Amino acid sequence: MLAGDLMQEALRERAPSRHDKGRYRLVRDLDVNVEHFNEVLGYPKSYDVILRRMRVGGVDVATYVINGLFLNIDDIEILRGIASIEARAGGPQAEGTDRGPGGSRLGVLRSLLEAHLVHSQVSIVDDFDDAILQVMSGPMVLLVDGEAAAIKIDIRYYPDRNPGPPAVEQLILGPQDGFVENIIDNSALIRRRVRDPGLRFEIVEVGRRSRTDVAITYIEGLTDPRLVDLVRCRLKAIVTDGIPSGEQTVAEFLTRQPWNPFPTARKTIRPDIAATNLYDGHVVVIVDTTPVALITPVSLFQLLQNPEDYHVAPVYGTYLRWVEAYSVIWATIIPALWLLLATHPALLARIPALSFIGPKHPGSIPLTIQFLLAELAIDVLRRAILNSPASMATSFGILGAVIIGQVATKVGLFTPEALVYMVGAAIASFAVSNMELGMALRILRISLILLEWLWGLPGIVVGVLFWVMMAARTESLGIPYLWPLLPFNWPALRSVLVREPATARAPRPLVMAPRDRWRGGY
């Protein structure tokens, strides 16, 4: 028999996996429940699974909890309260007392739940798979002999860090707290800024094995219910083992445009940005274990808005928006245009004012290759700095700048003009407030350089038209990506070009179909 046939036969005769749903169920026999729990949880193979058996009120009970996902003081207090029940009850209960319709002994379960478990989050779990999930998520699960149900005691405490200044989207003025890897802390950071009773955090479990908590955040009565339903349906339709990449995996399933370079969901690690977008009718998706939240839907012009614009005077905020627009132009088309003029003297001769463009000594390497090598060198340097210890990052930056900026030009690898334009384009990419949009602009810049190399001016025109048409065809959960330019909406476009003062009674974006149109509730 071939190896493949043996494999197929083994798969057909395979016993049900311990991950198969419905294999076990909670029964009234505590020993059977404990045996099934031990098999599924891998006790005692897994050292972090803690099992404690004791006798309470004349009835055997067992508790399961994961080491490291709770505070010892909480565990001690819960166990102390359980152990004291028999003393408070005056001894073991008589067999068969306080029986329910099914003949189960409800006295101990009711006593535990209503009188003795003094904890804010206690509930009944009557499904075996749900009880296993609760244990793996951190809460303590209490099994009672004679009951086909368990008690969940939420004493979990995830290892995390305190909210600190964001590593990106930094501000000189304004809040200095950022999201962390704990979904509960992130929800609290938003709740602190949005005290609207309509604020909702709906939990959806994503991942067949990871069962990661993902929160759908919106303001009920303001956000379009159809948008909330769309986000909810797409999150529930995710089929994958887990989401180790966190928000990026969720974003790819949510927007369903993985090969589109334009970001169709805004990532942020700032709770103030998330709160601002909630007020505009957006939906914010928070993924547990990651400090990044997703804002959906978004348009290209919303990605260009920087929170710093709202922490300075409106005049200066407007100036900063124009600086952002200038950075976008420099990061995309300026290097290709310079390359076009430098390699086509006939075009340059028609514009005397630009006679300074073009290297006096081009060197032995074509200018296009120089541009591509400089682009590659900048990305290599960036990754080297990110992967270096903090104490060495500055040294790597200085070393790379010296090698690229001085030695490479002296040996003729780069011309000074080409290096200036490429480094300027790289700086402009980092000046764009949204990091993912800056990466997309880098792809656009490289493609335009290659098209100019192949076809000159027609190549640049074709490349620009292609990317504009692609952006025009892109949608973010049904919202046009170039709104308010396409479709044209002058009031919304004016608010993009000009940072309006806070005293202006501006409407919320109509494209979001908000249920409350005017800011301030008018």
Return per-residue pLDDT of the chain as tens, 522 residues: 444 453 444 344 333 444 456 688 899 999 999 999 999 999 999 999 999 998 876 788 899 999 888 776 666 667 666 666 554 444 444 344 444 443 444 455 666 666 666 666 788 888 999 999 999 988 989 998 888 889 888 888 777 788 888 888 888 888 889 999 999 999 999 999 999 999 999 999 999 888 999 999 999 999 999 999 999 999 999 999 988 878 899 999 999 998 999 999 999 999 999 999 999 999 999 999 999 999 999 999 999 988 888 889 999 999 999 999 999 999 999 999 999 988 888 787 787 777 778 777 766 788 889 889 888 888 888 888 778 777 676 766 777 767 667 777 777 778 888 888 888 898 898 889 899 999 999 999 999 999 999 999 999 999 999 999 999 999 999 999 999 999 999 989 998 899 988 888 778 888 898 988 887 644
- 360 to 336, 442, 489: CA distances (angstroms): 18, 27, 47
Number of helices (H), then strands (E), belonging to the chain: the values are: 21, 12
- Where do the domains of the chain lie? 15-153, 183-298, 311-480
Residue 98, both tokens:
């306080």
Q: Could you tell me the two tokens for 79?
A: 């166990």
**Cβ atoms within 10 Å, residue 65:** 26
Question: CB–CB of 155/65 below 8 Å?
Answer: yes
Radius of gyration of the chain (CA): 30
Calculate ∠ Cα 94-96-101, nearest 5°: 145
Chain centroid, CA 424 distance in Å: 30
**pLDDT the model gives residue 219:** 96
Given a contact cutoff of 8 angstroms between Cβ atoms, the answer to whether 52 and 138 are in contact is no
